[in-house]
Amino acid sequence: KQIYEAAKYYYIAGFFLTVSIESLKIVAEHAVATNKVFCLNLSAPFIIDFFGDNVAEAIPYADYLFCNESEAETYAKKHNLGEDLKEVALKVAALPKKNTSRPRTVVFTQGDKSTIVAVEGKVTEYAVEPLSKDLLVDTNGAGDAFVGGFLSQLVQGKDIEAAVKAGHFAARYIIQVSGTTLSKDCDYKA
């Protein structure tokens, strides 16, 4: 309890929804009660399909919701939200929310296509810098790297554009190496 109470930001990967929604809710309720930022990643289409009730319990706590296009499409199909991912992002951002002191920000990554961000009824797309196919090594961990980069700026009080830029940098880096090991010190400049 002392550990989670000391944190100012919380990030829960969707895989956690498969094991302990109760633990997630303890942390999420604390985040709401203390006005701390709670972030959720849907992580995989199967989580939406097979743990939909847990997803439904978790989303109201999410100040930031992350997923890739496959997860977004799966969520949209399951909840009849349509096929236009920008519209889906807006609809998810507008879902009921426990902490009403800040709007929900929804972030959909789409590989080499623009990242979609929906917040307060507005969608912004952030272009992904093209990467030569011969530099692409392994896409495992790209979404997690993106979120890591994004959160690195969010916790510093930077704006969404800066957070997405850092997320793109981190994802771009990780897809150029085998596995998810960092082979050098980070040279990112905000």
Exactly one of 63, 84, 112, 144 is catalytic; name it.
144
- Confirm whether 185 is a catalytic residue: no
Cα 20 off chain centre by: 19
What burial class does residue 150 get, using C-beta atoms within 10 Å of its C-beta: 0-12 exposed, 13-18 middle, 19+ buried?
buried
Residues 6 or more apart in contact with residue 31 via CB below 8 angstroms: 10, 37, 38, 61, 63, 99
In eight-state DSSP terms, residue 20 is: -
Cα 120 off chain centre by: 17
Torsion of CA 161, 166, 25, 90, to 10 degrees: 30
What burial class does residue 159 get, using C-beta atoms within 10 Å of its C-beta: 0-12 exposed, 13-18 middle, 19+ buried?
exposed
Rounded CA-CA distance 82/70 in Å is 14
In eight-state DSSP terms, residue 130 is: P
Catalytically annotated residues: 144
